[in-house]
Structure 1
Amino acid sequence: MAKHTKAYIALVFICIVWGTTYLFIRLGVEHYPAFLFAGVRQVISALIIMALGLAMAKKVDLSWASIKHQALVGFLLITVGNGLVTWAEKYVPSGVAALICSLMPIITVMINLASAKGERPNPSILLGTLVGFSGVALIFRDNIADLANTQYLLGMLGLLCATSSWSLGSVINKRHQFPTNPVFNSGLQLMFGGIFLLIASPAFDSYENVFTWHAGAFWSLLYLIIFGSVAAYTAYMYALKELPVGLVATYAYVNPLVAVILGYLILDEQLTWYTALSFAAIMTGVYMVNRGYIRKHLAARREKERAKEVLPTPVTTGSK
C-alpha cells in the first residue's frame, strides 16, 4: 500500500465515524438516562484503551501529579464535555448539537490567547470568531419558537458549556503533557470522566424504565464504545503520527456535516436554509480562526529568528 494511504483511510474513518456519534447518542438517550449512558460508555471504553496502552508499553506513570492531571482533564473533557452533550441531545436535535460543538476550535484558540501573556488576536482571528458565533445566532434564530421550551433552552446552554469545557480541557492537556504511555493516559482520562458521570447520574438522571430492554439503544451504546471511542481514537492517534496536524484537523469540518445529514435522513430533524447558513458561517469562522492562529505563530517564530540573528556573537577569551 502506498505511503500514507493507511493514514488517509484512518482520517476518512474519523471524519465519518465521529460525525455519526451524535446520531447514536441521540438514539441512546431516547431510552436511557443521559449521564448513566455516557458513564457506562466511557468506563468500558477506558478499560479497553488502557488495556491497549499496557499491551503497547508496560511502563505507566501513576505518580500523584499524573493522576491529578488525568482526573482534571477527564472531568473537563468527558464529565462536563461529553456528559453535557449527551444530556443535551435529549432535548436538542443531533445536527444542532454537532454544529454548536464545531465551535470548539474557535473557543480553544480564544482560551489560548486569553491565557498567554502579551497575546493579542489578529484581524483574521477576530473576524473568524465573529463569523463563527454568528452561525450560532442563526441556529437560535431558526429555532426561536423552541426557546420558550425551558428544556430546549437549557440544552442549548449545556452544549455551549460542554464545548467550552472541552476546549479548556484540551488546552490544559496540551500544556501539561505526561509523555509516558499516552494511550494509557487517555484511557485513564476516560475512566475518571466516566466514573464522575456515574457519580453524578443519581442527582441528574431519571431512572424510570431504566431496566427496560431497548435493542436500538443497546446497539447504539455498543457502536459508541467500539467505533466512536476505541477505533476512532486509535485511528486519530495513527493519523496524527503519519500526517500533518493541520490536515488531520479537517475532521472538524466534516463531522457536523455528517451529523446534520444523518439527523435529517434518519431522525427526520428539520433542515432549513438557516441550518445551511449556520453550517457555512461556523465552518468559515473555524477556518479563519485557525488560519489566523497559524499565521500569528509563524510571525512570532520569524521574529524570534530575527532576534537571534542580530544578537552579537560572544567573544571568547580562552579558558580560565
Structure 2
Amino acid sequence: MGNRNYLPALVFISLCIIWGSTWIFIKLGLQDAPPFLSAGMRFVVATLILFPLLKWRDLKIPREWKVLSIMLYTGIFAISVSYGLVYWSEQFIPAGLTAVLFSTMPFFVIILSHFMLSDDPLTINKIAGSVLGFSGVIVIFIDSLKIENPMAVWGTVGVVFASFCSAVSDVIIKKHSRSLHPIVLTTVQMFCGAVILFLLGVLFEDFQDFRITWRSVGSIVYLAVMGTSIAFIGFYWLIRQIRVSTASLLVFVIPIVALFLDWLIFGEVLNFRVWIGSFMVLGGIGIAVS
C-alpha cells in the first residue's frame, strides 16, 4: 500500500521527463514537415497504436452520448486546437517563448477548477506557488521573450489560447474522471486529433513539403509512442488520483527538463539563470501543493 502512495509522484516525474523531451522532437520534425501534417501524422500513428490496446484490454468505447461527447469535446480542445496551435506557432516564435506562454496553463486551471470543481478551491498557496513557478520559467527564458517576426504576435496569441484550451479540457476531464477510462479517453481524443489535424494539413499544406527523413519519421514515432500514447494515458490516470490544479504544475517543470536534455544531449551551456529559475519553479510547486 505504501508503494502506491508514491505512484502519483513517480508518474508526475515521468511525465515531466517525457513531455520535456517532446519540444526537441517537435522542432526536429518541423524541419522536414509542415505543422498540421506533422501533428496529424503523430496522432494517426498514436491512434493506430491505441486501438489494438483497447482490443487487448477488452475495453469498449462508450455509446452513451453524454460520455462520448465529453471525450470528443475534450479531444477537440486538448488535441486538435491546442496541439494544432502549438505546432503552427512554433514556426514563428522560439521554443523558449513557447514554453513560457504555455506555462500560463496552471493559472487557467486553478481559476476554472475553483468554479467547476467543489474539491479544488482557489487558495493563496496555489496563487503564490503558480506565480513563483511562472516567474521561474520567465527567468530561465528571459532572452527568448523578444518578438521580431511580425507573425510572432499571432504565434504568441496562438500558444496562450492553446494553453487555455488545454486547461478547459483538463478540468472537464477531472470533473467526469470516474466515468472516463484513461485508455479509452486517450484513444478517442487521439482519433479526434488525427482526423482534424490531418484534414487541416491536406487542405492548407502541400504534401511535397513533407520530406521522409530520419528527423520527420523519428519525430513522429517518438511523439506518437512516448509523447502521446504513454504520456496521455499516464496523465489522465494522474488526474484521477490528485487534484487537477496540482497535476497542471508539471507544465512549469517541462521546459526545465527540455533545457537539461539539451545540455545532456547537445552540450548546451546552462547559465546561472537556469539554476535560479529551476529552484523558483520547484519552490513554487512546493508552495502550491502545501
* Interval containing the TM-score (normalised by the shorter chain): 0.7 to 0.9
Q: Structure 1 counterpart of 2:152, which letter?
A: Y
Instruction: Check whether the contact 1:99–1:279 (CA below 8 A) recurs between aligned residues.
Output: no
CA shift digits 1:78-115 (9 cap, x unpaired) = 01222222222223333443344344333211211244
> Partner of 1:212: helix, strand, or coil?
coil
> Partner of 1:90: helix, strand, or coil?
coil
Change (3 A) 1:28 1:214: same
Instruction: Check whether the contact 1:91–1:152 (CA below 8 A) recurs between aligned residues.
Output: yes
Instruction: Check whether the contact 1:61–1:180 (CA below 8 A) recurs between aligned residues.
Output: no
CA shift digits 1:241-270 (9 cap, x unpaired) = 9xx647x94855643222122345667878
Change (3 A) 1:112 1:238: closer
Change (3 A) 1:265 1:151: farther
Determine the C-alpha separation between the residues in 2 that align with 1:211 and 1:257: 30
Determine the C-alpha separation between the residues in 2 that align with 1:10 and 1:120: 24
User: Which residue pairs with 1:156 in the alignment?
Assistant: 156
Change (3 A) 1:235 1:173: closer
Q: Within the alignment, does 1:44 sit opposite 2:45 as a pair?
A: yes
Change (3 A) 1:208 1:39: closer
Change (3 A) 1:13 1:125: closer
Instruction: Check whether the contact 2:37–2:205 (CA below 8 A) recurs between aligned residues.
Output: no
Report the TM-score when normalising by structure 2: 0.78
Instruction: Could you tell me which runs of 5 or more consecutive residues in structure 2 were left unpaired when the two chains were aligned.
Output: none
State the shift of 1:74 in Å: 0.3
Please list, as runs of the form range in 1=range in 2, the aligned pairs for 1:136-285 lying within 5 A after superposition.
138=139, 141-144=142-145, 146-177=146-177, 179=179, 181-202=181-202, 205-207=204-206, 209-234=208-233, 245=242, 249=247, 252=251, 254-263=253-262, 272-274=271-273, 276-285=275-284
Report the TM-score when normalising by structure 1: 0.72
Determine the C-alpha separation between the residues in 2 that align with 1:97 and 1:264: 19
- Greater CA deviation, 20-29 or 222-231? 222-231
Determine the C-alpha separation between the residues in 1 that align with 2:137 and 2:11: 30
User: Which residue pairs with 2:32 in the alignment?
Assistant: 31
Instruction: Check whether the contact 2:129–2:285 (CA below 8 A) recurs between aligned residues.
Output: yes
Instruction: Check whether the contact 2:174–2:239 (CA below 8 A) recurs between aligned residues.
Output: no
Determine the C-alpha separation between the residues in 1 that align with 2:236 and 2:68: 22
Q: How many residues align?
A: 284
Determine the C-alpha separation between the residues in 1 that align with 2:147 and 2:273: 16
Instruction: Could you tell me which runs of 5 or more consecutive residues in structure 1 were left unpaired when the two chains were aligned.
Output: 292-320
What's the RMSD between the two structures over aligned residues? 3.7
User: Which residue pairs with 1:316 in the alignment?
Assistant: none
Instruction: Check whether the contact 1:50–1:188 (CA below 8 A) recurs between aligned residues.
Output: no
Structure number with greater Rg is 1
- Greater CA deviation, 273-282 or 212-221? 273-282
Change (3 A) 1:73 1:200: same
Change (3 A) 1:133 1:229: closer
State the shift of 1:37 in Å: 0.9
Determine the C-alpha separation between the residues in 2 that align with 1:211 and 1:73: 28
